[in-house]
Structure formats: structure tokens, C-alpha cells
Amino acid sequence: MDAGLTALLGAAVGSLATLGSAMLTGRVAARSQFAQWQRQHRRDAYANYLAALYDRDIALDAVRDALRADHPDLREIDANMERFHAQARNVHRSAEFVILEGPQSVVQALYRAVHAADSLAEVMRRMVRDAHAGDTSRKVADLELAAEREHLSYQAVKVLRAAASDVLGYRRIRVP
């Protein structure tokens, strides 16, 4: 074989190998960038949801604190309930982004957290109705039930945080 032809074939094979390597590297880089983009969007959705949840819980704490009084101020309770409802809307709005970003493991944990929070809110709404009616017959039992459901809600949020951390690839931090 002629040396010129051999050099030409060698250059062609080298060029094809370089092109193939470049294409493979480009695909790997594109996949990596997409994964990073997706992780960032998920992280933002999860963080926004957890922040909205925190704000809603603070508003609900204000309602419960106002209800603990021997003679609760109904205007204060109603104002706190309005703040709670506004924060609850923010939580539901933020939840939609978590549902869109997924994955299913996080969405299932989100639904458990929503159910636990709704269960707590149900008790609080009953306590507000009772306060407006001047009925204190269930107050002590409902405060205990609210504390129990608040704990269950906290546990459900911990599970959600763990699921989100797993999806994002973060090492899990143990929280008591």
C-alpha cells in the first residue's frame, strides 16, 4: 500500500474517532446539564413549598395561641384565620409545582403531608366555630388533639423532606 494512502486512511480513522468522541462527550455534557437544570427546578419547587408550609404553620400557631385564652378575642382569632387561609392558598399553589416536578415518591410524601395538615386544620376550624358559639366543652380535648395532629403533620413533613433530599441527591441529615 502506498504511504500516502496509508496516511490518508489513518487521518480519516483518526478524524472519525475524534468526531465520535466529541459527539459522545457532547451528549454526556448535555445530559449532565439537563440533570442539573432539572435538579435545580425541583430544589426550587421543594424549597418554595416548604417555605410556604412554614409560613402557614406560623399562622396556624397564632390561631391556636389566641384560642388558648380563657376569653379569646374573636376579632384576633378571625384575623389570624384570614392569615392562615391566605398562607394555605400559598401552600396549595406551591404544591402544584412540586406535583409538576415530581417524581412520584415526592408527590406521595406531599399528599401525606397535605392530609396531615388538613386533619390539623379541621380541628382548628372546629375550635374557632366553638369559640364563636361560646362553647368550651371540647376546648381541652381539642387542644390536645391539635397538638397530636401537629406532631403527625411534622412527621409527614419530615418524610417529605427526606424524599426530596433523596431525589436531589443530598445526604440525609437526621432530625429528631
CATH code for the domain in which residue 153 is found: 1.20.1420
Dump pLDDT digits (tens) for 121-157.
Answer: 999 999 999 999 999 999 999 999 999 999 999 999 9
CA 77 – CA 100 distance, rounded (Å): 35
What sections of the chain are H helices per DSSP? 3-68, 74-101, 104-133, 139-168
State percent of the chain over pLDDT 70.
90
Residue that the C-alpha cell 429528631 belongs to? 176
**Structural domain includes residue 11:** no
Compare 80 and 4 and report the one with higher pLDDT.
80
pLDDT at res. 174: 59
Q: What is the reported pLDDT for 61?
A: 94
Residue 22 CA, distance from chain mean position? 39
Separation of alpha carbons 49 and 96, rounded Å: 9
Q: Tell me: pLDDT of 26 over 80.
A: no
Q: Provide the domain limits for residue 81.
A: 38-168
Q: What is the pLDDT of residue 51?
A: 96
pLDDT at 131: 96
Instruction: Read off the amino acid at residue 59.
Output: A
Provide the domain count of the chain. Answer: 1
Nearest to 143 by CA among 63, 76, 88: 63
Q: Grid coordinates standing for 158?
A: 419530615
Cα separation of 19 and 11, whole Å? 12
**Mean of pLDDT values over 49-69:** 94
Q: What is the mean pLDDT of residues 153-168?
A: 95
In a domain, 175, yes or no: no
Q: Could you tell me how far CA 112 lies from the centroid of its own chain?
A: 11
Residue 29 has what pLDDT? 66
Q: Look up residue 152 and give its three cell numbers.
A: 403527625
Q: Give the Cβ contact number of residue 13 at 10 Å.
A: 10
CA nearest neighbour of 57 among 93, 75, 84: 84
Look up cell 416536578; give the residue.
101
Q: Give the C-alpha separation, 51 to 55, whole Å.
A: 6
pLDDT at 175 > cutoff 70: no
Q: Is 0.85 surpassed by the pTM of this model?
A: no
